[in-house]
Structure 1
Amino acid sequence: MAEGIGDALASIEITQSQIDQYHTDGYLVLESVVSERVCDALKSRMSELMASFEPDTVRSIFTTNEQSRHTDQYFMESANNVSFFFEEEAFDDAGALKQPLELSINKVGHGLHFQDPVFKAFSLSAVWGELLSKLGMIEPRAAQSMYIFKQPGIGGEVNCHQDSTFLYTTPMSVIGLWFAVEDATLENGCLWGIPKGHQHGLLKRFERNSPESIETKMVTLKEHEWDQSELVAIPVPKGSLVVLNGEFPHLSYANRSGVSRHAYAIHAVDDTCEYPELNWLQAAKGSSFVPFQAK
């Protein structure tokens, strides 16, 4: 299945006006840049990965509440693995799944972009590396990836956050590539963001207590409350790409509809920038974040 995915991605032409808009607003919407066939191939491959997952071996729950966010060895090792995280509302009081497994997973991450052949072929395409270069990256590297389900009925809210809180570089360089594998609508939990909000700078850093520690903490860098009235909805059709500056504040509301909102995200960093040892996500010992394919 991996064969042909990279070839099926067309080069993305963006104008100087779009580049300027990205830097001014902190995000850019590129509609329908991934074909329906490729979206369906990613979705099909994820179904295969889900079928191989044995939920009795681990029950790691993904929480969107930064104050209660906890880490464990499974979470830390997910940086270089294909790991599964449940929705907060997936289990009943007795610890049993309320609905089938395939409707209970919040996300899968964070090493899909180099651990799975299908997602690798898509993620490391020269198309994305070229786009990141146009947006100002000198040596773009894929640091993290995740497949997000936004399950019907129980897809949890993701609080307003900045991606660079969790992936920090000096100087700042993080760019998120958020792909709509399915339509993202107002009803099923599309992205919302605050245009120009990235200009306030980074508010928090999620970091290890010390290098190699699995204990983490949230460090406040500056006090600022996001004005919810400034949020704008970013609904996009299947196959669209939303490019997010690492300091762009964004969220998604809970999905109470009967329709899922699958998405796939890649977070890139510039290899010319310093990547601190205190960042929770680290490349495996002896290796580095993977480059995109050459054009």
Structure 2
Amino acid sequence: MIDLDAYARDGFAVLPDFVSSEACEALKARAAELVLEFEPSGVPTAFSTVDQAHARDRYFRDSGGAIRFFVEAEAPAQLNKIGHALHDLDPVFDRFSRQPRLAALAHALGLAEPLLLQSMYLFKQPHVGAEVAWHQDATFLRTDPPSVTGFWIALDDADRGNGCLIALPGAHRGPLRQWFGYQDGDLVDRTLDSTPWPSVEPVPLEVRRGTLIVLHGLLPHASTANRSSRPRQAYSLHVIDGRADYPADNWLQRPDLPLRGFA
């Protein structure tokens, strides 16, 4: 299923044809239904990894245990993503996220007590889909010891033209650079280690629809903007190990929605 030696070397693994075309279309159809049911009120919250302005909004802060809709900062008529508890609160995404193959993959990666922490439906809209800045997932979903692992599923073909993922192979062996969480009641970014990213060539992860990309929580990765006429939708699921400590200063908290595993 996965080459664990290559994953340990690179910090990512690409698994083609992990998800059928029918399953991809089912997730896209359900996301479209959720969008039709969405009734915005007030000023929508724009999501941006560049300036983290969304961190000021209660709508974002309370989204860890909810299904919330976020727009593009530079194109507020377009959705950026849906997050962050689709896997628990929507039956279609729940069934998909807890399929036995994903559970087996989590265990193969050494997550002895896997817990599904966060899910995101990522639109990366044609022409206006924003870039995602270089980051480590553990910056936002920190455990002690580090355990967060990303499952990123391409629902459309993804390439350099429409904003595929880009990774720095092997750079997951370095330290956690940034931390994003609560400090004195505010969500802030804080530098933990100023070591620059390693001087390695970024690798574009160009994949076909149905591919699953596994991302180590310390792997630096990003994606470019989508300026093409093609969509680049994806579903992302983040899993942590229940044996690790999940600090109370993490931004994502779920006081009314306990974490669950794959069962």
TM-score if structure 1 supplies the norm length?
Answer: 0.86
Q: Could you report, residue by residue, the CA deviation over 1:231-261 in whole angstroms, capped at 9, with x for unpaired residues?
A: 1110110000000000000000000000110
Choose which of 236, 241, 247 in structure 2 pairs with 1:276: 247
Q: Is the 2:183–2:249 contact (alpha carbons within 8 Å) kept by the matching residues of 1?
A: yes
Between stretches 20-29 and 156-165, larger displacement belongs to 20-29
1:283 aligned partner, one-letter code: R
Choose which of 178, 185, 188 in structure 1 pairs with 2:162: 188
Q: Secondary structure at the match of 1:70?
A: helix
Q: How far apart, in 2, do the equivalents of 1:117 and 1:70 lie?
A: 28
Question: Which residue is 1:7 aligned to?
Answer: none
Q: Could you report, residue by residue, the CA deviation over 1:258-292 in whole angstroms, capped at 9, with x for unpaired residues?
A: 0110000000000000000000111234x421110
Alignment of 1:28 onto 2:13: yes
Question: Which residue is 1:221 aligned to?
Answer: 192
2:48 aligned partner, one-letter code: T
Query: Which one has the largest radius of gyration?
Result: 1
2:220 aligned partner, one-letter code: P
The answer for unaligned runs of 5 or more in structure 2 is: none
| TM-fit CA distance, 1:228 | 7.0
Q: How far apart, in 2, do the equivalents of 1:288 and 1:54 lie?
A: 27
Q: Secondary structure at the match of 2:250?
A: coil
Q: Is the 2:45–2:54 contact (alpha carbons within 8 Å) kept by the matching residues of 1?
A: no
Question: Which residue is 1:206 aligned to?
Answer: 180
Choose which of 40, 45, 52 in structure 1 pairs with 2:25: 40
Alignment of 1:136 onto 2:110: yes
The answer for unaligned runs of 5 or more in structure 1 is: 1-12, 92-96, 98-103
Change (3 A) 1:181 1:67: closer
TM-score if structure 2 supplies the norm length?
Answer: 0.96
Q: How far apart, in 2, do the equivalents of 1:24 and 1:66 lie?
A: 31
Cα RMSD of the aligned pairs, angstroms, is 1.4
- Aligned positions, number: 263
Question: Which residue is 1:85 aligned to?
Answer: 70
Q: How far apart, in 1, do the equivalents of 2:240 and 2:28 lie?
A: 26
1:1-295 residue pairs with structure 2 within 5 A? Answer: 13-14=1-2, 18-66=3-51, 68=53, 70-91=55-76, 97=77, 104-210=78-184, 213=185, 215-226=186-197, 230-285=201-256, 287-293=257-263
